[in-house]
Amino acid sequence: MTSRRGTLIEDGARELLQVNGYSVEVIPPGFNKKYPPAHLVASLPSGETRFIRIRKFSHLPSTADTIMLKCRRDLEQFRKHLARHGDGPGFHYEIWIYSLTYGFRCFEIFRDSIREIPKLTLYRTCSSRAGGVA
């Protein structure tokens, strides 16, 4: 994010992705037409790539309707990138909304719609190899 206050939120998102197995690249401020308007690019070894734009809303509900109203420019840029480069296999274009009350709420952007996606957890689930319960 471009502001210094937003750096902490960006660091939290980066840590959340890394705990879940993603390698994360922080995109420096400035818009390069070759890339979508992302703050973070997260990749898995399987080829899945997430282009993530982070926004902070303090007093607004985090819904798809709010994103359509308040993130119009981000949507235009993501969709322009989708139109030019197609939605490659494993590519995901996302806007993450952060609020102090709810933390991150994640939305995936498609050519003609927006849908909320499950947020990542900070803790990995572990199962016993023996299959029993301790």
Q: What is the pLDDT of residues 15-73, one digit of tens each?
A: 999 999 999 998 887 756 667 788 899 999 998 999 999 988 877 777 788 888 888 88
Q: How many angstroms separate the CA atoms of 103 and 105, rounded?
A: 7
Q: Which of 75, 24, 84, 78 is nearest to 49 (CA)?
A: 24
Tokens of residue 88, six digits: 């490659």
Residue 4 pLDDT > 90? no
Three-state DSSP class for residue 29: coil
Q: By the 8 A CB rule, do 107 and 116 touch?
A: yes
Q: Could you tell me which residue, 11 or 90, shows the higher pLDDT?
A: 11
Q: What are phi and psi of 108, to 5 degrees?
A: -100, 140
Res 123 pLDDT > 90: no
Per domain, the residue ranges of the chain are: 4-117
Cα separations in angstroms, 21 against 99, 122, 123, 134: 24, 11, 11, 26
Asked if the 4-117 domain carries CATH number 3.40.50.300, the reply is: no
pLDDT tens digits for range 65-119: 888 888 888 888 888 888 877 666 788 889 998 888 888 889 998 888 899 998 7
